[in-house]
Amino acid sequence: MWNCVGGKRAIETSPATAAVFCLVMADFFVVGARLLADDRVGETDEFVKILLPDLEATVRKQGYVTGVAAQTLLDKKTGFRDAGYGLDIVDWIMEPGSDEAYRDQLDKELVYTCNNDYHGKIAKRSTEGPQICTQAKKLAAPGRKSGSTWNQVLVFPQGKRYFISSDKISAVNSSDAMFLRLDMPGHIKHTKGDTFSEVYLSYRGKIPASEFFENFAPDEKFNYARGRDKVPQRFIRAYHLRDPKTGKDGPWLAGMTLKPDVVSEAWCHQRGYVCMIEEFGGRPVKAGESFSAAFVVGFFDSIDEMDAVYDQFAGNTGLEVTADGWKLTK
């Protein structure tokens, strides 16, 4: 449903009461406030479509509701689109530790297994669920409440080939190390590297597509963990798009977490597709408190260009919007 208070869109059926703010910057307008008067935005019962000179995107209102919908982010400069299942897609509120001792009490949507190729060897458990992006229920683990609030803000600056976003959890439970899991920038669908030529991880460097021809677990290689690994100057994860028909390289599709030390763990592994999961938070949270991260997601011609944009916005973890404008916050 639309709950138009300063242009806010509230989805009340999500397990963590999601709120998606979809904003476009030109002279600045808020989607919802001037929706019918502006041809840069279209709306149906199922989605909101943003139509800008340099970029197009679709935000779904039903079903897979988080982030930008799969393969709808269009770079008008090159004609390339994202190559996966969506961008800034939010999954679960989680914490370290196994759910094995009480797994028989859990709804199947909350069960989290490990020691497999999907999740690796590191034990984790869902505190609330199910998966935010695809389901609409209210569930919590034993001894926990449901009802934490997830807020997602998306801003599309005029004249840019990227959008700015933020995800925030306002918790109703306490945890020694609560974190939010999301796809950042997003997964990569491919067959033997036909849609991308290389991956770039700022904490690792460039990785050729050939490294992702065979499946491997998240903690086998290309895994980042705060505390184990040095926090990088910039936290950037990107893939170099490739035209599957011609083999010609296109732009980079990057996701930048603007404050590197908010990331608790991140991986880039192959499980039939390249899975680019990121978790942020992972620090003590008391009921009533919140934690967030801010991102830049979009198309870039080079790593140098990514670095320059990153440095312009670095150090922020939140995104505030009003009818007068938007600003990143620390």
Report phi then psi at 298, rounded to 5: 165, -160
Cα separation, 311 vs 294, whole angstroms:
13
Are residues 121 and 218 in contact, defined by beta-carbon separation less than 8 angstroms? no
CB atoms < 10 A from the CB of 82, how many? 28
Handedness of CA 91, 43, 29, 78 (dihedral sign): positive
Residue 2 covered by a domain: no
Q: List the CATH number of the domain containing 54.
A: 2.70.98
Write out pLDDT tens, residues 147-169: 888 888 888 888 999 999 999 99
Write out pLDDT tens, residues 281-306: 999 999 999 999 999 999 999 999 99
Residue 1 covered by a domain: no
Q: What share of the chain is helix, strand, coil (3-state, %, to 5)?
A: 10, 45, 45
Residue 3 covered by a domain: no
Q: Residue 75's pLDDT is what?
A: 98
Q: Residue 45's pLDDT is what?
A: 82
Instruction: Give me the number of domains the chain comprises.
Output: 1
CB atoms < 10 A from the CB of 227, how many? 8
Q: Is the pLDDT of residue 280 over 90?
A: yes
Are residues 218 and 120 in contact, defined by beta-carbon separation less than 8 angstroms? yes
Write out pLDDT tens, residues 86-112: 999 998 899 999 988 889 888 887 888
Average pLDDT on 196-222 reads 97
Per-residue burial over 261-284, b = 16 or more CB atoms within 10 Å of its CB, e = otherwise: ebbbbbbbbbbebbbbbbbbbbee
Q: Residue 35's pLDDT is what?
A: 43
Least confident of 2-6, 17-21, 48-52: 2-6
* Domain ranges, residue 263: 8-329
Cα separation values, 156 from 14, 68, 182, 296, 328, Å: 24, 11, 20, 10, 13
Q: What is the pLDDT of the chain when averaged over all its residues?
A: 85
Residue 263 covered by a domain: yes
Are residues 312 and 162 in contact, defined by beta-carbon separation less than 8 angstroms? no
Are residues 29 and 38 in contact, defined by beta-carbon separation less than 8 angstroms? yes
Residue 76 covered by a domain: yes
